[in-house]
Amino acid sequence: MAVNKKRSSRTGRDDRFIPRRLNILFGLVILLFTILIARLADMQIVNSDFYTNKLATVSKKIISTSSVRGQIYDAKGTPLVENRVEQVVAFTRSNKISAQEMKEIANKLLQWVGVSEVDLSKRDKADYYLADQEVYRSVVEGLPDDKRYDADGNNLSESIVYSNAVDSLTDEQLVYSEEESKAIELFTQMNAAAYFETVNLVTNALTAEQVAQIAAHEEELPGISTTNSWNREVLSTSLGSIIGTVTSQKAGLPEEDAEEYLAKGYLPNDRVGTAYLEKQYEEVLQGQREKKEINLDRNGNVESITTIQEGSKGNNIKLTIDLAFQDGVNAILKRHFDSELATGSALYSDGIYAVALEPSTGAVLAMSGYSHAKGTGEVKEDALGTITSVFVPGSIVKGATISAGWENGVIQGNQVVLDEPIQFAGSAPIKSWYAAYGNYSISATDALEFSSNVYMVKIALGLLGQSYTPGMYLNDGEVLEQAMSKLRTTFGEYGLGSATGIDLPLESTGFLPEDYSAANFITNAFGQFDNYTPMQMAQYAATVANGGTRISPHLVEGIYGNNDQGGLGELIETVTGKEMNKVNISAEEMALVQQGFYQVVNGSGSLITGRSIGIGAAVPISAKTGTAETFVTTSSGSVVEAVNTNIVAYAPSTNPKIAVAVVLPTLTNLNSSTSKTIVTEIINLYHSLYPMN
């Protein structure tokens, strides 16, 4: 049966194909509309927040500006630092300004400001050179093709091309005069600012006339204004060295800490504390940043500027140290050290140091010191040496050694031990200093009062699992390591060889050699091997004084707001020492340590070691003396015997208010009692300022 096909009379094409193609076309249109509707739904419903935020990011910008830094005061509110306010040139970078315009502004600005600090890199000079658009275009045109296009002939990104242009410049092209270098310095600072960011340009201090000239020519200097800025000035006090430093705006964030600060919302050119108190309390002292929201139209023009957070001066910190007491301690140390220098006894000494703490709170009452250039008369104030310099402590550690005996079951209570010459195989005998009086049976408290080396040696032997027999050999190897670990663990409970927890960075934890012999272990039991800082020794004294709780020393008493004049305001937060640990002995055993310390000064026996400390004392003092033997090499090359004369003490003996450590190392006068006198004078001075009765 034949099929009739209807064809177009004009084209001879089958007309039935037309509706089919129209249907396909309509289907494609419907599909595209469906995709468009789905996309709109995704943007407006599913991912609405994402696109809203993205639009906001394009159309608005948040600008953050730092505020004036908080101040630091002593315990009585005496300022230790100042923010010296001065007028400076400020530059606010718009989103429309070009590099060439900034170059022109920098050169014009030099007519009215001086620039002394010029520190330019090759990149700084290159950026200035290429800021001229015609110069940049010429340099790019002269680049090889592979520095402008990729392998497929497409243009490289502008940033890569610019980097290649910088690399192509020769040293000869970047030679500038002294005056031009000043312009480059200003341009570099301006070029480093982000869009809408305001930066203070580093120039010489502005005079009133210069400020007036800049204001008069502001139309020629778009973005330029004058404003108040501040420079941190550490006042000349005996606490100057513990304050630390603050970076300049030009230096900005320290490279090693930049990532951490940027994550906290700081800007690259923000001034921050770089050491000691300024660094430790950075987030307290750093003011609240002013934040402004800048809204832009579709062409990038500014529509509005809104302040969303007011800036405010940083909070202040007040220290636990009263300058009057600190200065008094300094004067005591300096006077006595000068006296020892005059006699020649301290000619090869490292210096002299003293720390005073409040035993119940850990508050630092004084941290004083002087370093000495050996063999000379040069003496420098060195308060930081109390946490950074280490010394052999001598017999002051004996309270901790006895505690190690109790903790490890070597002795019980106020156990009596025979003090006798100790003779190990192949070594010189170890004797207590009073051995000429014969053998003594002494208790733990007597061992502290008389400063018995032998009592400590027998405890050390017990830690090694040995009892004393003349001519014996000492255990070695793993047993020795375990014994040293036990001894050092107990010492650490008192703060000896442990981080004290003081609110200052970079404190030393002492010097505890990893390599040692059995002989070193034995002498460590009476303080003749490991080295500690004066602050660690003071924490040890405070721990004994308060009954066995080790509290972290702290220099800051509280965080304060600002009054109407920007000075010390109301208390915001009290800072206290933290409990680090408790010494792992009973209250009865700690009372024996305290009794031993009391007997060192106040005992009735003829062999007590610290009686002179109590002579002239305003209140009863408990203490432990320490003498560590050492040697010095004189300028002539001869080796001379010397001693470290150290004292730890607290007062009053009942309900102590002050704990003190005095370190006077490397004296050639082996019988010096200077450190004992210093302890008494420090405690009497404190009592005169803060009566302890």
User: Element (H or E) spanning 498, and its range?
Assistant: none
User: Element (H or E) spanning 310, and its range?
Assistant: none
Interatomic CA distance for residues 599 and 610, integer angstroms: 8
User: Six-digit token pair at 496?
Assistant: 């000896």
User: Element (H or E) spanning 312, and its range?
Assistant: none
Interatomic CA distance for residues 478 and 474, integer angstroms: 12
Interatomic CA distance for residues 409 and 253, integer angstroms: 54
| Paired residues of 638 in beta bridges | none
Contact predicate 619/692, CB 8 Å: yes
DSSP 200: E
Coil/strand/helix, residue 302: strand
User: Element (H or E) spanning 434, and its range?
Assistant: none
Contact predicate 534/648, CB 8 Å: no
Coil/strand/helix, residue 558: strand
Interatomic CA distance for residues 307 and 517, integer angstroms: 68
Q: How many helices (H) and strands (E) does the chain have?
A: 23, 20
- Active-site pick, 238, 395, 403, 432: 395
Contact predicate 518/480, CB 8 Å: yes
Active-site residue 371, yes or no? no
> Counting beta carbons within 10 angstroms of the beta carbon of residue 349, is it exposed (0 to 12), middle (13 to 18) or buried (19 or more)?
buried
Query: 195: which residues sit within 8 A by CB, 6+ positions away?
Result: 61, 93, 94, 95
Which residues are catalytic, by number?
395
